[in-house]
Amino acid sequence: MPELPEVETSRQGIINYATDKTLKSLWLSNKALRYPYNFEPPIFVGKRCINITRRAKYLIWHFDQEKLLVHLGMSGSLRVEETSKLTKKKHDHAVFSFDGGYSVIYHDPRRFGSIMMYSGEWQKKMAKLAPEPLSSEFNSHYLINKLKQTTRPIKITLMDQSIVVGVGNIYANEVLFQLKIHPEKQSSLVTTAEAEKLVVSIKTILAAAIKQGGTTLRDFVSGNNKPGYFKQSLLVYDREGLPCVSCGKPISKMTLGQRSSFYCKVCQPCSVKS
DNA sequence: CCTTCACCCTGCACGC
DNA sequence: TGCGTGCAGGGTGAAG
């Protein structure tokens, strides 16, 4: 369920159970995730977790020496359970048991996620990632320059990891609705004023979602954590046919880049499409 | 270089 | 109740 706010929420949910703790055991299921494992569990067992950080939608688990990269894909989630009461569920693929009595469990039905040792190869990949949306590096000057260079629909550009990381399908829809920009609008025709608002809107909406995610953190311990996803606060995503919160006309749906796009034909007119 | 497309996998909602 | 279909919040690599 991970867009960037969920990944960040997951990080905050597990960090206190892993940081400054020694990994006592690491169990992996025999099912392959997105990539074949590039390590054996003993490499990490006995090592102390120093910190867990996030880059884009990746979590980086810093152990004494090696680092571990965890991505939740489309259906991944992390939960914390007391090791003594741990019950493995279908689609659990990794159990990190730390001293202190708690385990972090990686669960991923579709197995689009990955757990990898942070090898040199991965460091290269990560180094190429675009700026974090909440960083000062992602500003209107930067975005305007990027938008000039492509004729693709603005929604596809916003979701392009080489432009800015962490803006997934839901938030791309929400941001464009908020600013009354048609999802198909050619990126290079987005005005300077619109680009400036896009930057502000992306930062605001992601920060707000992260903040809300925090309210569900206590559920992590019980193991029945609901992903901190706030459907009730989404204004356009998954609302096809339902009245636009602004004008009341039904929300439309179209496919762009193989992803569902929701928009209001009235509030987001395609005046300057292509 | 840029853009589009297929695809990795399972679960679920829906229509018949 | 069961079956088939389409769809899902991500990301990559190959092909055009």
Give me the CA A221–C1' C8 separation in Å, rounded. 27
C1'-nearest nucleotide to the CA of A156? B3
C1'-nearest nucleotide to the CA of A91? B10
Tokens of A253: 């749906």
Largest CA distance in chain A: 61
C1'-nearest nucleotide to the CA of A109? B10
Q: Which nucleotides of C are covered by protein (CB under 7 A)?
A: 7-12
From first to last of the 274 residues of chain A, give the pLDDT tens digit: 578 888 998 999 999 999 999 999 999 999 999 999 999 999 999 999 999 999 999 999 999 989 999 999 989 999 999 999 999 999 999 999 999 999 999 999 999 999 999 988 898 888 888 999 999 999 999 999 999 999 999 999 999 988 999 898 999 999 999 999 999 999 999 999 999 999 999 999 899 888 877 554 445 554 444 444 566 678 999 899 999 999 999 999 998 988 999 999 999 998 654 4
pLDDT of residue A270: 81
Give me the CA A242–C1' B15 separation in Å, rounded. 21
**Number of neighbouring beta carbons within 10 Å of residue A195:** 23
Please tell me the number of Cα atoms within 13 Å of A175 on its side-chain side. 29
Give me the CA A4–C1' C5 separation in Å, rounded. 31
Give me the CA A227–C1' B3 separation in Å, rounded. 34
pLDDT of residue A127: 85
- The set of residues with CB closer than 7 Å to nucleic strand B is A 31-32, 34, 75, 90-91, 109-112, 149-152, 156, 257-258
pLDDT of residue A224: 43
Judge contact between A183 and A153, C-beta under 8 A. yes
Look up the protein residue whose alpha carbon has the minimum distance to the C1' of B7. Answer: A112
Please tell me the number of Cα atoms within 13 Å of A183 on its side-chain side. 27
Residues of A classed as catalytic: 2-3, 57, 259
Q: Which nucleotides of B are covered by protein (CB under 7 A)?
A: 2-11
Q: Where are the alpha helices (DSSP H) in chain A?
A: 4-18, 120-127, 140-148, 154-158, 169-178, 192-213, 219-222
Give me the CA A81–C1' B7 separation in Å, rounded. 34
Give A85's contacts (C-beta < 8 A, 6+ positions apart): none
Backbone φ and ψ for A57, nearest 5 degrees, come out as -100, 15
pTM flag (> 0.75): yes
- The set of residues with CB closer than 7 Å to nucleic strand C is A 1-3, 6, 34, 56-57, 71, 73-74, 110, 112, 125, 159, 161, 168-170, 227, 229, 258-260
